[in-house]
Amino acid sequence: MAEGLSLRNLVVRKGAEELVRIDAHVAAGSVLTLMGPSGAGKSSLLSAIIGALPSGLTSDGEVWLNSKNITGLAPERRRIGLLFQDDLLFPHMSVAGNLAFGLAAGGSRTERAAKIAEALEQVGLAGFGDRDPATLSGGQRARVALMRTLLSQPRALLLDEPFSRLDSGLKDQTRQLVFGLIRSKGLPTVLVTHDPQDAKAAGGTVIDLGQK
Amino acid sequence: MRAEPVLGFFSVGMIAVLAGPVLAGLIGVLLPAFGHFPQAGLTGPTFQPFRDLFDWPGIGPSIRLSVTTGLIATLASLILSLVIVATTQGTRGFAAVQAMLAPLLSVPHAAAAFSLAFLIAPSGFVARALSPWATGWDRPPDVLIVGDPQGFALVAGLVIKEVPFLLLMILAALPQVRPSQTLLSAAALGYGRVSAWFFCVFPNIYRQIRLPIYAVLAFSMSVVDVALILGPTTPSSLSVNIVRWMSDPDISLRTRAAAGAVVQLGLVLSVVAAWWLAERLCAVIGRQVGPSGRRHGWAERIWPIGAFAGMALVVTGVTGAGVLGLWSVAGFWGFPDVLPDGVSLRGWRRHASDLGKALSDTVVIAFLATAAALVLVVSALQSDRPKSARWLVYLPLIIPQTVFLPGLQTLLIGANADRGIGPVIAAHLIFVLPYVYLTLVDPWRAWDSRYASVGAALGRSPMAVLFTLRLPMLLRPVLTAVAVGTAVSVGQYLPTLLIGGGRVSTLTTEALALASGGDRQAIAVFAIMQTLAALAPFAIALGLPALVWRNRRGLSNG
Amino acid sequence: MRFLSLAAALLAPAFASAQALPTDWNAVVDEARGQTVYWNAWGGSTATNDFIAWVGERVQDDYGVTLEHVKLSDTADAVTRVLSEQQAGLTSGGAIDLIWINGANFASMKDAGLLFGPFAESLPNRELVDVEGKTVTTDFTVPVDGMESPWAMAQVVFMYDTADVDGPVGSMAALLEWAMSHPGRFTYPQPPDFLGTTFLKQALVDLADATEVLAQPATDETYADVTAPLWAFLDQLTPHLWRDGRAYPATGPAQMQLIADGEVDIAISFSPGEATTAIANNQLPDTVRTFVLDRGTIGNASFVAIPFNSGATSGAMVVANFLLSPEAQARAQDPAVLGYGTVLNMDALSDTDRAMFEALDLGIATLSPAELGQAIAEPHPSWMTRIAEDWQTRYGVLQ
């Protein structure tokens, strides 16, 4: 129970109303899939895990990461990566700029450039560094977003419907890439999705939040 | 969040900047309005000032004039600017509209009014251009165009200035509404461009520009400088009379002025409320008409109107500016000569030293007031609790300057703090801050906050997210807000005059002092300088993002 | 207690100013050095602004006084300002040190105790002033009492464009006749503008049978009687005015612009040299000339006054004194500069100074002193106030 992400009696409330409640442990390299209809509080739960609940919502319970209670930490200090269904690449930066933003601080200029080039190559986008993100295809953008997150060396990963915007051919390919990387890096991951195919590909525990 | 206490302080700062002076000034006006004016030996409460006001023979017409010109000017400006955007969006005309916006916007109200007057007066440029060959006039005809009793010239002057303002507001709101995609999908459903725009884009746009519209409404109803130049005088609109009574050496007229100011406030508030009701009504009707499924082919036929209106505005603006420029170098220029007898730089040489001094003061005041406003606004927005700020920023815009500034002046004199440039900057801040806030708030809110979550997830603090993500992505609206703030500061007359004790002279106070003398050459010289001072930031607001983000398609609109 | 505070309030200006007394001129000049004087003066005329700038250079050179021209669009703004300062209890270091003033504004400031002085009669150059021949001891019948110092003479003249008008129009009755046969070619600035009310007063004086009563405050009986011819005149004139009397130019210069634009042919002016100066500045065609009415026209002096709470009274007095110097007066009278009448007595001047005035070319549109004739004194201010109010009711509101 030591390594991984623990959600201990995590509850999200809107006023007095309880939106969602969960008590689960995600081991390193495995994926916890949360399913359920819209409005079941899936995204709120993710916000609670990274510690950035929108105003009006409150949470109870604790979040532990690798045997450390991170409930009181600011979002930027929790080291939990986040991927949305939209890639949310920063439109004012180049592809390399986006990756550099994710890249943890440290290292010389050339070292950083090399790491970025390597990351791009890893997802089949070698030489795309200077491109404007707006000129990339959906699949390419999704891969840049993924690498941006991974370069920040997160200790856990949250995925909010990350594949829903991709067409079906691309979906399989991207799923394999993402889950492969998660396993190889040993990241505990929480996946929120509508799509049973996602859950299947993820392979881990599935919790249906719609059934209370 | 952790930063909240500090940022909360800035929200408090905003409240202090906006509400404090306005409320103090309001008290300073309410007391004399109800007859409490110890300085003149009067103690209230009494309704005598209101009886006085309503006994004044011009009260009916002047109230009617304020309401009708304000309403017509706002409605016409709104319709014109919407039609211009709806019909040009996605065409090459759109770029032309954008390019012309900055110069039109930066022309100060008074300068625009003067150039319009000189265009359309019976002895104006239009008549000169057509005389005597087409009209047969070798003397100007005796027709009442400028200063007509119905206030049409005044409305025209207001529309020329308010259309660019609303266009700017619409353009700033557009990128968030993603009109291209919306229009494309509506087109796919068989809707023509104009009707698609009005049914699909307009409601989203309107939501973002409704507060600027209220400001336009309040401003148009209480404008002083434009009304002095283009408005009727028999009688003038209410606000002009209030200013006149306020500055009358007969101190007892001040209670009448105060009563007039209270009535003016009531008028503005009721008309804004009426507009709000009409808005609701239109929304209900719009929902009825929208889903009927008809494709409204007629709507497409109005699109040349937008092109024409846009052209007319641009032609008027350019000709007006050209005529101003011509006057600044003209020798004697009699009717019906299309061009002056001679041309020289005499006017410019004559005013060179005054210009330099006024320009440097203008720039310093505008820069510091706008910078302070930007810091306060961004901090308040960042603290994400500005719900109260929304109505707060409307205080200085809806409560006319003539209502609360004199009370504020008395307050500052009492504190012996009415000297020099500092208090003037603070006074400008009262009016600059709301415009900066209004220009920035909707694009700010429309920014996808998931970027902030991503930034945090990538290990960046809220401050880092602000400076590396939010502000750069919002560069265009931020610079637009700066430009608007600068233009507002450059155009301020009453605050500079009253709060500066007359010792701080900006291009605007100099221009209006000269305006009272009617020396067209001097007016033209100062109006051009004033325009240039306000133009530069607009050029930057439109040019810089295009330059910086020239390789970033995701940040261009349209 | 109440008496004490009242006494304190009355004495406060005198105590507050540890400033040099006007009677000790050397002390005044010493104290003035290094002071900055904020002169609030109407800023609507480029010619005046240039003149004031020149005065600033001269007093800087000679006395080390820095002069800042605060350009007003209405003198009443300055009155209001001093009033506000008084209300706020600011008894020293006020924002205004010198005001170009006369008539009703002077009367109300003097009444309200807003002025510093008396100082005018202690100025060294006072002895050059033509106290007998020019109306400098009363201002609109209100005794000046040394609370303001004169610096220019003004007299009503009418400007007309000889290209369109055959010759001078000698009376208000003749003006009415002319206007009826030339509809739309005459107007006057809209009262309560200073020049507009001056036109009304000029008409009142010219049309009234007896003018002695005008020197007294208006009463209900005298007012109705004396103004009856004026209203009859205006009732007939108004429909034949420019724009049928439905609009008026806002100010004198705006009215002058109408001549330049060819919209009107005759316009009132309160400065005999204004037309010549305007021609030189390209503001009027060179066919414009001036005339006065056969029975004479109203005249008055322009003054400068010092607010009670000025922080630079010595500097202000130095400026007021400089304005009375032959050098400044001759420059003001030069139509190429201002074209304002001098307040000096030519007989009191040295030969060289007198020669300076005699050498002035008054210009093509300026009448000689003989042609101008003796100015008629201004009526008591109460007349102007009531006439301006009635005008508003009768003609200022279109029904």
Q: Which residues contact C375 (CB under 8 A, 6 or more apart)?
A: C135, C153, C155, C296, C297, C298, C299, C300
Contact present, C291 and C158 (Cβ < 8 Å): yes
Contact present, C148 and C106 (Cβ < 8 Å): yes
Specify the 3-state DSSP secondary structure of B80.
helix
Average pLDDT over residues B375-381: 88
Average pLDDT over residues C207-233: 90
Q: Do B399 and B311 lie in a common domain?
A: no
What are the pLDDT digits (tens) for A52-69?
Answer: 887 778 888 999 998 889
Average pLDDT over residues C104-118: 89
Report which of residues B23 and B248 the model is more confident about.
B23
Of residues A123, A183, A185, A112, the one with CA closest to residue A154: A185
Q: Do C115 and C33 lie in a common domain?
A: yes
Determine, yes or no, domain membership for C369. Answer: no
Q: Do C89 and C183 lie in a common domain?
A: no
Q: What is the pLDDT of residue B194?
A: 72
Q: Do B298 and B399 lie in a common domain?
A: no
Determine, yes or no, domain membership for C80. Answer: yes
Measured CA distances, C115 to B410, C105, C118, C381 (Å):
19, 11, 9, 18
Q: Please provide residue B380's backbone torsions phi and psi, each rounded to the nearest 5 degrees.
A: -65, -40
Q: Do C338 and C288 lie in a common domain?
A: no
Q: What is the pLDDT of residue C229?
A: 94
Output the CA torsion sign for B222, B224, B229, B231: positive
Q: What is the pLDDT of residue B516?
A: 67
Q: Look over chain C and give the mean of its residue pLDDT values, rounded to a whole number.
A: 88
Tokens 């009358």 identify what position? B248
CB atoms within 10 A of CB B21: 24
The number of helices, as runs of H, and strands, as runs of E, in chain B is 27, 0
According to DSSP, the β-strands at A68-69 and A57-65 are antiparallel
Q: Do B330 and B401 lie in a common domain?
A: no
Determine whether the interchain pair A52/B456 forms a contact, defined as Cβ–Cβ distance below 8 Å.
yes
- CATH for B309: 1.10.3720.10
Average pLDDT over residues B194-222: 82
| pLDDT > 70 fraction of chain B, expressed in percent and rounded | 86
Q: What is the pLDDT of residue B530?
A: 85
Of residues A115, B104, B517, the one with CA closest to residue C256: B517
Determine, yes or no, domain membership for C368. Answer: no
Contact present, C257 and C45 (Cβ < 8 Å): no
Confidence band of B103 (pLDDT split at 50, 70, 90): low
Q: Do B390 and B410 lie in a common domain?
A: yes
User: Domain of B194?
Assistant: 47-344
Say which range, A138-152, B15-29, C244-258, has the weakest mean pLDDT. B15-29
What is the chain C residue with the closest CA to B499?
Answer: C81
Q: What is the pLDDT of residue B411?
A: 66
Q: Do C263 and C212 lie in a common domain?
A: yes
Say which range, B5-9, C77-81, C223-227, has the weakest mean pLDDT. B5-9
- Decide which of B344, B366, B382 is a domain's last residue: B344
Determine, yes or no, domain membership for B315. Answer: yes
Q: What is the pLDDT of residue B5?
A: 41
What are the pLDDT digits (tens) for C68-87?
Answer: 998 887 787 788 888 878 87
B96: pLDDT strictly greater than 60: yes
Residues 47 through 66 of chain B touching chain C, CB cutoff 8 Å = 57-58, 61
Give CA–CA dist C272/B434, Å, rounded. Answer: 50
What are the pLDDT digits (tens) for B136-162?
Answer: 888 888 888 888 888 999 999 999 888
Q: Which residues contact A107 (CB under 8 A, 6 or more apart)?
A: A115
Say which range, A73-77, B26-30, B347-351, B405-409, has the weakest mean pLDDT. B405-409
Confidence band of B127 (pLDDT split at 50, 70, 90): confident
B458 lies within 8 A of chain A by CB: yes
Determine, yes or no, domain membership for C371. Answer: no
Q: Do B327 and B458 lie in a common domain?
A: no
Q: What is the pLDDT of residue B441?
A: 82
Q: Do B405 and B487 lie in a common domain?
A: yes
Determine, yes or no, domain membership for C1. Answer: no
Q: Look over chain A and give the mean of its residue pLDDT values, rounded to a whole number.
A: 87
User: Domain of C254?
Assistant: 157-297+377-395
Read off the tokens for C112.
Answer: 């309200």
- Decide which of B311, B344, B377 is a domain's last residue: B344
Q: Do B209 and B77 lie in a common domain?
A: yes
Q: What is the pLDDT of residue B296?
A: 56
Burial A134-147 (b: 16+ CB within 10 A, else e): eebeebbbbbbbbb
Q: Do C315 and C268 lie in a common domain?
A: no
User: Do B and C touch (≥3 CB pairs < 8 Å)?
Assistant: yes
Rg (CA), chain B: 24
Determine, yes or no, domain membership for B505. Answer: yes
Q: Provide the residue type at B461 as one letter.
A: S
Determine, yes or no, domain membership for C138. Answer: yes
Q: Do B465 and B340 lie in a common domain?
A: no
- Decide which of B310, B344, B378 is a domain's last residue: B344
Determine, yes or no, domain membership for B328. Answer: yes
Of residues B226, B95, B102, B101, the one with CA closest to residue B533: B102
Q: What is the pLDDT of residue A76?
A: 85
C9: pLDDT strictly greater than 50: no
Q: Do C165 and C312 lie in a common domain?
A: no
Q: Which of B31-45, B515-529, C192-206 has the highest mean pLDDT?
A: C192-206
Specify the 3-state DSSP secondary structure of B176.
helix
B518 lies within 8 A of chain C by CB: yes
Determine, yes or no, domain membership for C210. Answer: yes
Average pLDDT over residues B290-312: 66
Q: What is the pLDDT of residue B39?
A: 65
Q: What is the pLDDT of residue C5?
A: 38
Q: What is the pLDDT of residue C273?
A: 87
Q: Do C256 and C339 lie in a common domain?
A: no
Average pLDDT over residues B444-462: 87
Contacts of residue B454 in chain A, CB cutoff 8 Å?
82, 84, 88
Confidence band of B6 (pLDDT split at 50, 70, 90): very low
Q: Do B133 and B75 lie in a common domain?
A: yes
Determine, yes or no, domain membership for C220. Answer: yes
Q: Do C140 and C193 lie in a common domain?
A: no
What are the pLDDT digits (tens) for B230-243?
Answer: 899 888 899 888 87
Q: Do B356 and B472 lie in a common domain?
A: yes
Specify the 3-state DSSP secondary structure of B224.
coil
Average pLDDT over residues B452-463: 88
C40: pLDDT strictly greater than 90: yes
What is the chain C residue with the closest CA to B337?
Answer: C261
Q: Look over chain B and give the mean of its residue pLDDT values, rounded to a whole number.
A: 81
Read off the tokens for C338.
Answer: 């201002």
Q: Which residues contact B448 (CB under 8 A, 6 or more apart)?
A: A86, A88
Q: Do C137 and C175 lie in a common domain?
A: no
Q: Do B409 and B282 lie in a common domain?
A: no
Q: Do B430 and B384 lie in a common domain?
A: yes
What are the pLDDT digits (tens) for A122-178?
Answer: 888 888 989 999 899 888 888 899 889 988 889 999 998 888 878 877 888 888 888
For chain C, the maximum distance between any two Cα atoms, rounded to a whole number of angstroms, is 71
Q: Which of B82-91, C118-127, C389-398 has the highest mean pLDDT?
A: C118-127
Rg (CA), chain C: 21
Q: How far apart are the first and last CA of chain C?
A: 54
Contacts of residue B460 in chain A, CB cutoff 8 Å?
76, 101
Confidence band of B513 (pLDDT split at 50, 70, 90): confident
Burial C322-341 (b: 16+ CB within 10 A, else e): bbbbbebbbbbbbbebbbbb
Q: Which of B31, B234, B243 to mutate to test the interface with C (most CBs of C within 10 A)?
A: B234
Determine, yes or no, domain membership for B39. Answer: no
Q: What is the pLDDT of residue C4?
A: 37
Q: Do C317 and C391 lie in a common domain?
A: no
Q: Do C167 and C291 lie in a common domain?
A: yes
Determine whether the interchain pair B515/C44 forms a contact, defined as Cβ–Cβ distance below 8 Å.
yes
Q: What is the pLDDT of residue B9?
A: 58
Report which of residues B407 and B61 the model is more confident about.
B61
C399: pLDDT strictly greater than 70: no
DSSP C117: -
Output the CA torsion sign for B368, B370, B371, B377: positive
Of residues A75, C199, A160, C216, the one with CA closest to residue B3: A75
Determine whether the interchain pair C247/B250 forms a contact, defined as Cβ–Cβ distance below 8 Å.
no
What are the pLDDT digits (tens) for B315-350?
Answer: 888 888 888 889 889 888 888 888 888 888 888 988
Rg (CA), chain A: 17
Read off the tokens for B189.
Answer: 């459903």
- CATH for C67: 3.40.190.10
Specify the 3-state DSSP secondary structure of B308.
helix
Domain count, chain C: 2
Q: Do C33 and C133 lie in a common domain?
A: yes
Domain count, chain B: 2
User: Do A and C touch (≥3 CB pairs < 8 Å)?
Assistant: no
